[in-house]
Amino acid sequence: ASLDDKEGSTDEIESTTRQIELTTEEDKNSQCPSGFEYNGLMNVCDDIDECEDDAMHECYEDEVCFNTIGSYECDLEDNSSDECAPGYRFFLVTCIDINECFEDK
Residue-wise pLDDT for 20-46, tens only, equals: 444 565 677 788 999 999 998 999 999
* pLDDT, position 31: 87
User: What are 36's strand-pairing partners?
Assistant: 47
Q: Tell me, yes or no, if the pTM score tops 0.75.
A: no
CA-to-CA distance for 39 and 26, rounded, in angstroms?
A: 11
Report yes or no: 48 and 56 within 8 Å, Cβ to Cβ.
yes
Residue-wise pLDDT for 52-98, tens only, equals: 999 999 999 889 999 999 999 998 865 545 678 888 888 777 888 88
Q: Where are the beta strands (DSSP E) in 2-103?
A: 36-39, 44-47, 64-68, 71-75, 88-91, 94-97
